[in-house]
């Protein structure tokens, strides 16, 4: 019980390349070849406290992300699409959450998790002709309740997941097996 709180801070950088080609796409066809260069980065912080058979974890991530579509990858018929995507600014999102785990036995853990992601700044520019248009992404929330069992290098877990964003929600039962190397 007297153990201190473990803390961590760090930074992340992500780079991505997306390529998609339609069969039969030509300069004069209506089927574009699409490509995007994506970049993101941010900072995170976490805390961990072991309270005997119970572990409590919390963390947050602030991340910016953006995309660039080279117009030459789309062909002359779709240059307007590249212009629209490239005009979008940086998206800034804040995600935070926590987890509580309780050891039922030395191999079995009962786990509860919560995660929320909020759009801090949208990369979209507002249009004066549409003043009531909300350009921000709705907050998303995920709640997970599960049980995990470890046997050697194998870990099995199963449980229930609820996720929502805006007016959309989803429920799921899951089961998975992991191998620790």
Q: For 50-76, write each residue's pLDDT tens digit.
A: 999 999 999 999 999 988 888 877 767
How much is the pLDDT for 26? Answer: 55
Q: Which residues of the chain have pLDDT under 70?
A: 1-3, 21-33, 75, 125-136
How much is the pLDDT for 133? Answer: 66
Count of residues making up the chain: 181
Distance (Å, rounded) from C-alpha 172 to C-alpha 159?
Answer: 8
Q: Which ranges in the chain belong to alpha helices (H)?
A: 79-87
């Amino acid at each position: 019980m007297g153990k201190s709180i473990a803390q961590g801070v760090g930074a992340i950088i992500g780079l991505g390349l997306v390529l998609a080609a339609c069969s039969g796409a030509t300069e004069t066809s209506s089927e574009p070849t699409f490509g995007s260069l994506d970049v993101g980065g941010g900072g995170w912080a976490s805390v961990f406290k072991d309270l005997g058979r119970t572990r409590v974890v919390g963390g947050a991530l602030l991340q910016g992300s953006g995309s660039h579509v080279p117009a030459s990858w789309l062909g002359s018929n779709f240059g307007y699409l590249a212009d629209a995507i490239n005009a979008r600014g940086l998206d800034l999102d804040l995600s935070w959450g926590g987890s509580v785990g309780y050891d039922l036995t030395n191999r079995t853990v009962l786990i509860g998790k919560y995660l929320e992601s909020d759009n801090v700044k949208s990369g979209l520019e507002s249009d004066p002709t549409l003043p009531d248009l909300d350009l921000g992404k709705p907050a998303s929330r995920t709640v997970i309740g599960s049980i995990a069992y470890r046997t050697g290098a194998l870990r099995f877990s199963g449980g229930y997941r609820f996720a929502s964003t805006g007016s959309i929600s989803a429920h799921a039962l899951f089961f998975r097996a992991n191998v620790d190397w």
